[in-house]
A and B are shown apart, each in its own frame.
Chain A
Amino acid sequence: AQKITQTQPGMFVQEKEAVTLDCTYDTSDQSYGLFWYKQPSSGEMIFLIYQGSYDEQNATEGRYSLNFQKARKSANLVISASQLGDSAMYFCAMRSYNNNDMRFGAGTRLTVKP
C-alpha cells in the first residue's frame, strides 16, 4: 500500500524568502510519479510539479523545485521568492504506474507574510 506523509500542518514564510514543504512516501512499487498540487480557497487543484521515480535530475518549474531523495523516499517542494499569492494548501501526491490511481498526503497550509 502507498502512504504519503506531510508532517507540517502549517508553515509560515516571509514574502520573498524561500520555503521547503516536506513530503515522504512509502511504496513497494519501482515505477511511480510524485506530484505537488496547490489548492487555494476556491478549491481547485493546481498542478505545480512532477518527478518520476526514474528521473535522475530534480524537477524544476519556475519558482518551484522538487528535492527528490529516492533512497530516503522524500520529495520536498521548495518555493523560492515567496509571494503573497502562494498562500494556500499544498498537497504532495503519488501515483503508482501499477494501478494508476493517485494518493494524497494530508497537506500543508502555507501562509506568506508581507
Chain B
Amino acid sequence: GAVVSQHPSRVICKSGTSVKIECRSLDFQATTMFWYRQFPKKSLMLMATSNEGSKATYEQGVEKDKFLINHASLTLSTLTVTSAHPEDSSFYICSANTYEGQYFGPGTRLTVT
C-alpha cells in the first residue's frame, strides 16, 4: 500500500511558540491531504482539507489563522500550529487518498508546556 510519513513523531514546545508538522506522500502524488486531530481516547476529528496549489478548506470551528496549512507540492503538506497553547496538545494525523484507499501517517504527538 501507499506510504504517508509525518515529521516529527513527537514534539514538545513552550506556550507561545509555533510548531510545524510535515506530511509527505512517499510513493504517490496527492493533490489533496487531510489533517485530523485526536484527543486521548477520542476519535479522529477532521480539521481541514489541504489542496495542492490552493487554499485549505477548514472544518467549522477550526481557526485557520491558528492552524496554518500549506500544500506546496504534490507530496508535501505542512500544518503549523501558531502561538501554541497547552490546549493545542493533541495527536495530529495526516492522510492522503489514492484510488486504492485512504492512507494515514503515523501521527505527531504535540505537547505544549
Contact = CB atoms under 8 A, between A and B. Distances in A.
B46 A43 contact: no
B97 A45 contact: no
Interface of A: 35, 37, 42-45, 47, 50, 91, 95, 100-107
A104 B101 contact: no
B101 A102 contact: no
Contacts of B95: 45, 102
B93 A45 contact: yes
Contacts of B67: none
B106 interface: yes
Nearest to A107: B43
Interface in B84-113: 91, 93, 95, 97, 101-104, 106-107, 109
Contacts of B38: 43
Interface of B: 1, 32, 34, 38, 42-46, 49, 91, 93, 95, 97, 101-104, 106-107, 109
A92 B50 CA distance: 23
Which 8 A-B pairs rank lowest in CB-CB distance, beginning with the nearest? A45-B104, A43-B107, A104-B44, A104-B43, A106-B43, A44-B106, A107-B43, A102-B102
A45 B93 CA distance: 9
A71 B107 CA distance: 35
A43 B109 contact: yes
Contact of B46 (A37, A91, A103, A107): A103
B1 A47 contact: yes
B34 A102 contact: yes
16 contacts: A35-B102, A37-B104, A42-B106, A43-B93, A43-B107, A44-B106, A45-B44, A45-B93, A47-B1, A47-B102, A91-B44, A100-B49, A101-B46, A103-B46, A104-B43, A107-B43
A35 B43 CA distance: 14
Nearest to B38: A43
A95 B32 CA distance: 14
